[in-house]
Amino acid sequence: MSSPRTRLIAAAALTAALTVTVPALATPALAAPSANSAQHSAHAIPFTAATAVQQADGSFALSWTAPGARHVTVYAGTDPEHVAHRRAVASGAGSATVTVSGLGAADRWYFELVPDRGAPLVVADRSLHLASAPNFRDLGGYRTADGRWVKLGQVYRSDDLSKLTDEDLAKLRRLGVRTVFDLRTPAERQAAPDRLPAGAKAITANVLGAADTGQFNVTSPQAAVDMMVLGERTMVSADSARAAYAQLLGAADDRGAVLFHCTAGKDRTGWGAAALLTALGVPQETVRADYLASNTYRAQANAAALAQLPPAYQAVYQPLLDVRPEYLAAGFDEVKTRYGSFDAYLKKGLGVNAEQLRRNLLVG
């Protein structure tokens, strides 16, 4: 009988074989404070929710809620640390939804929300809209339980990078991507070698710790779900996984943007993102939402992948392409079973200093 890790490796290979590239989907972004607001306490930032979503026509839908503020002015810029206040692009009440259009092309547009009371906040669309990597998105911009915010533009998560265009690579270089962690197996890397931005350092962090993919067979949707749940536990317990995530979390600081990825950017990458956000103090419901967002970002790719299969097999393989709450819950349950608490997992399992991570990646 094959081991859980072998079955997960085989599933990863199948996912890679089925994966096809489709245009990225526009999905909601969360907020990150502007650089000049770091001097304020978290309580001085009145926004409890804020999103920026790029629409199909290139406009942006902005929404915010800022209890205690009566008026919010919006400015736009291409540098999150220096959004000029020469001309407002929108304004609204303390809670509002507005549309901003006519901004033109840019690597990313950032919107500084300036309230009449309290500190400003910068928001941006989470997606980089890379057609060749639909699950490429910013992991920053989440609010922690104690009112701080994960820095925007410091940590990115993605799916396969082998099809990035020269234009994509130039964009990533301009956005400051300096380190790329590849969480895939050697077979996956050989089948689809990464394309990296100029000057970026490549780090191999093989979560599954195997040179080949073995054989994979499931006969029912439930068997596929069971395998994925078991695989999520393996990403907590396996020595290779602990070594990989220790490397990743240890490098996630403020010395240049970090990007990490696997094949679909949902399982190995999903646990890495969940572990980092949890270490930073992001609430579990937010962590879960970020994890499940892969279903939205990869909806078209997954549909295209299933269309390659005979109808009788589609229901069986659907769980391999999904992310589901029970998958992530299995990872956290494994943490509790083996270590007793998430803090103990960070310290004993990964050797990660959570306080150092928070100093590096949180503002407010």
Angle between helix 268-279 and 284-292 (nearest 10): 160
**Which residues are marked as active site?**
262
Give 202's Cβ-side CA count (13 Å radius): 12
Alpha helices, DSSP H, located in the chain: 4-18, 166-174, 186-191, 221-237, 239-251, 268-279, 284-292, 294-297, 299-307, 311-321, 325-339, 342-344, 354-361
Find the Cα–Cα–Cα–Cα dihedral 205, 206, 209, 214, rounded to 10°.
Answer: -170
* Region of residue 129 (left: phi > 0; alpha: psi -120 to 50; beta: else): left
Q: What distance, in Å, lies between the first and last C-alpha atoms of the chain?
A: 51
Question: Count of CB atoms within 10 A of residue 233's CB?
Answer: 21
